[in-house]
Amino acid sequence: MIHSLFIINPSGDVFLEKHWRSVIPRSVCDYYLEAQRASPNDVPPVLAAPHHYLISIQRGGVALVAVSKQEVAPLFVIEFLHRVVDTFQDYFSDCTETIIKENYVVVYELLDEMLDNGFPLATESNILKELIKPPNILRTIANTVTGKSNVSSILPSGQLSNVPWRRSGVKYANNEAYFDVVEEVDAIIDKSGVTVSAEIQGYIDCCIKLSGMPDLTLTFVNPRLFDDVSFHPCVRFKRWESERILSFIPPDGNFRLMSYHIGSQSVVAIPIYVRHNLTLRSNGDQGRLDLTVGPKQTMGRTLENVALEICMPKCVLNCSLTANQGKYSYDPVSKVLLWDIGKIELPKLPNIRGSVSVAAGADTSGANPSINVHFTIPQLAVSGLRVSRLDMYGAKYKPFKGVKYITKAGKFHVRM
């Protein structure tokens, strides 16, 4: 049960507040701001104040803080806050302080419909768009002149059905069903190149534009790969438990069908390697840095959007480097070296080397920086997950179908 919601900008100012059960003073946010000052990059998601519980997320440069007067399941509140941000992005294309301020009226209307007396009511995008029309210039002018509201006076047709996520009477000239299988590799590689830990966080995003009320089944070649799964409410869970088949009546438009985790049972393939050598001298001499990046276990696919981010030790003043591919930048204030490589095309391997200026007399003994690696591999699911087939029932037309696979770096760290 959520009593109040506060949205806070990076400066620590509350620029939007919404209350459902009772008005809680915004001074309660001081507990969150104190925790943020103590640890800016690692604010605890749940904070216990003397008379309240504060549950928060940070997205799009703003923090959403939900306040409850009694104990509540934290994951329930966190999931709802993420759903609020997803809805704002769906309506306004982004969720920033400026955009929220420009659309205050629609934001308050959405929050009124999404939560009723502290409990979630309508959180599906299809239902909300029937209730509250997305803003555009003509509608805004018309509402200003006539004094009308964005909120529809008619209850959405799906709200009272047993398929609340799909509106009735959907018709398309071109019927399409597209699936994006996206996998993010989280890994820690030690300085000798040995994998300390590796796991995959994956999700399947869909774009479904089908007429009528289609019933879909999605079959995988190897469904036993999954260690843990989370589904959209449209998925019939009993069918998944018994047959490992996704059976569902899809929402209309874009939605996330499922999220999954792979790691504890499977050996995760590491698709990239980094050879590194960093020597720092404390006697005032120039240090040396040498980095080489290359593909590894990519099944013949190309690494794209490759970038390396290195948090250098505080004793490093500047870097004078030469890269045979891409470009680099070094910020002497934050001590971050960023090397933007782009696409890796064999046989040429990207390399960057050069001198590193170290402060005279600085202690370099405990300087062990780590490399944050970013990359994208199109047309590859590194876990080996494959979609076998998609079948449709309850409709007589033949839709266009497609599956796209993408592997990306999640929290991918290489220790130096």
pLDDT of res. 148: 65
When pLDDT is cut at 50, 70 and 90, the band that residue 142 belongs to is low
- Is 154 inside a domain boundary? no
**Which of 40-44, 137-141, 292-296 reaches the highest mean pLDDT?**
292-296
Residue 345: inside a domain: yes
Pair 119, 249 in one domain = no
- Rounded to an integer, the average pLDDT of 296-319 is 88
Structurally, how many domains does the chain consist of? 3
Lowest mean pLDDT among 356-365, 373-382, 405-414: 356-365
Q: Is residue 153 part of a domain?
A: no
37 in a domain, yes or no?
A: yes
Q: Residue 312: its pLDDT value, please?
A: 87
Asked which of 100, 130, 146 is the last residue of a domain, the reply is: 146
Domain residues for 403?
A: 176-268+380-415
| Predicted confidence (pLDDT) per residue in 55-75, tens digit | 999 988 899 999 999 999 999
24 and 108 belong to one structural domain: yes
* Residue 249 and residue 385 in one domain: yes
Would 159 be classed as within a structural domain?
Answer: no
pLDDT computed for residue 317 by the predictor: 85
**161 within a domain of the structure (yes/no):** no
3-state secondary structure the chain: CCCEEEEECCCCCEEEEEECCCCCCHHHHHHHHHHHHHCCCCCCCEEECCCCEEEEEEECCEEEEEEECCCCCHHHHHHHHHHHHHHHHHHHCCCCHHHHHHCHHHHHHHHHHHEECCEECCCCHHHHHHHECCCCHHHHHHHHHHCCCCECCCCCCCCCCCCCCCCCCCCCCCCEEEEEEEEEEEEEECCCCCEEEEEEEEEEEEEEECCCCCEEEEEECCHHHCCEEEECCCECHHHHHHHCEEEECCCCEEEEEEEEEECCCCCCCCCEEEEEEEECCCCCCCEEEEEEEEECCCCCCCCEEEEEEEECCCCEEEEEEEECCCEEEEECCCCEEEEEEECCCCCCCCEEEEEEEECCCCCCCCCCCEEEEEEEEECCCCCCCCEEEEEEECCCCCCEEEEEEEEEEEEEEEEC
* 246 and 186 co-located in one domain: yes
Domain annotation covers residue 231: yes
Confidence grade of residue 193 (pLDDT, cut at 50, 70, 90) = confident
pLDDT digits over 76-102, tens only? Answer: 999 999 999 999 998 888 889 999 998
Is the pLDDT confidence value at 158 over 60?
A: no
Q: What pLDDT shows up at residue 273?
A: 92
Question: Which range is least confidently modeled, 9-18, 132-141, 286-295?
Answer: 132-141
Q: Are residues 187 and 233 in the same domain?
A: yes
Which residues does residue 323 pair with via DSSP β-bridges, in sequence order?
352
Please tell me whether residues 80 and 207 are part of one structural domain. no
At residue 150 the predicted structure's pLDDT band, cuts being 50, 70 and 90, is: low
pTM of this structure = 0.80
Clarify whether residues 259 and 390 are in a common domain: yes
261 and 401 inside one domain: yes
Q: Which two tokens stand for residue 33?
A: 């701001």
Same structural domain for residues 11 and 139? yes
Q: How much is the pLDDT for 253? A: 86
For residues 205 and 349, state if they share a domain: no
Same domain, 341 and 404: no
The CATH number of the domain where 260 resides is what? 2.60.40.1170
Residue 170 resides in a domain: no
